[in-house]
Amino acid sequence: MDNLASIPPRDKAEILAQALPYIRRFHGKTMVIKYGGNAMTDPALQADFAEDVVLLKLVGINPVVVHGGGPQIETALKRLGKKGEFIQGMRVTDHETMEVVEWVLAGEVQQDIVGLINQAGGKAVGLTGRDGGLIRAKKLRMPDRDDPNTFHDVGQVGDIVQIDPSVVKALQDDQFIPVISPLGFGEENESYNINADVVAGKLATVLQAEKLLLLTNTPGVLDKGGTLLTDLSAREIDELFADGTISGGMLPKIEGALDAARSGVNSVHIIDGRVPHALLLEILTDQAFGTMIRSH
């Protein structure tokens, strides 16, 4: 925050005044934020993120945070001598891996985020999919990308059956900031690890969120030449899938984003979590700090 000292008061006032139309437009609206990547592991960016979320809540916007934890899970598995295995960007999750995933996500990672937000002056509450029956799931049947008739077994990885947002709504109405671990439960009370981007997308749809914001380690969606594509429609994204421009870890992210955009979420933003205060810049200024996906 040191660099703010060098900004003349008049410019500071101008910056604040610019935010006003956005604060007015989004007052009372829900924003679902997928928190991951560097923003989650770099201490300075963690503090920025927590401040941004608290500020949004204070100006009357309702942030809901869904977090990942890939690197932290990887570190914990390494400590146990287990090697992470992925198929088409999805982590293969056997029973032992699932136990690690649960204690890393619902324990360490979630509590870190709750602590950071509370330290910044907010009131965060951690939830998993079990709390209030939030995320009901079933085993994911993952079709092979080249042969849709073949399915991969990725273990205790879940497909969302239903989201019951009543616990999230109750917390929001009560000035709390929900922080959600992407863990679901099945018919037999078994646990499922669900892709956090998918959870964020479905939750944004069910909550009829104004925006879904996905923090990533890239500037957004890039074309083949490495140029940022700031504004994309669903049709344009289908073309980027088809020609291989979008691949790897970006696939589940974009698929979740696209589903949300097609299901009534006004806009989906894929933003660079390595930029300090990326969240505020995206929501409260004119500047586009990533890729916006429109529903049509």
Gap between the Cα atoms of 211 and 266, Å rounded: 6
Q: For the chain, how far is it from start to end, CA to CA, in angstroms? A: 39
The answer to whether 38 is a known ligand-binding residue is no
The answer to whether 69 is a known ligand-binding residue is yes
Q: What would the two tokens of residue 108 be?
A: 């360490």
Residue positions counted in the chain: 296
Cross-strand partners of 32? 64, 212
Q: What would the two tokens of residue 250 be?
A: 């970006």
The answer to whether 193 is a known ligand-binding residue is yes
Whose CA is closest to 215, among 34, 53, 71?
34
Instruction: Extract long-range pairs of 246-252: CB within 8 Å, 24+ residues apart.
Output: 246/221, 248/89, 249/89, 250/218, 250/221, 251/88, 251/89, 252/89, 252/90, 252/195, 252/197, 252/198
Q: Say which amino acid occupies 204.
A: A
Cα-based torsion angle of the residue sequence 137, 271, 244, 254 in order, rounded to the nearest 10 degrees:
20
Helix (H, G, I), strand (E, B) or coil at 141: coil
The answer to whether 226 is a known ligand-binding residue is no
2 CB-contact burial (10 Å; exposed 0-12 / middle 13-18 / buried 19+)? exposed
Whose CA is closest to 253, among 84, 30, 65, 35?
35
Cα 223 to chain centroid distance, Å, stands at: 22
Q: Say which amino acid occupies 92.
A: V
Binding site: what residues are annotated? 69-70, 91, 193
Binding site for substrate: what residues are annotated? 69-70, 91, 193
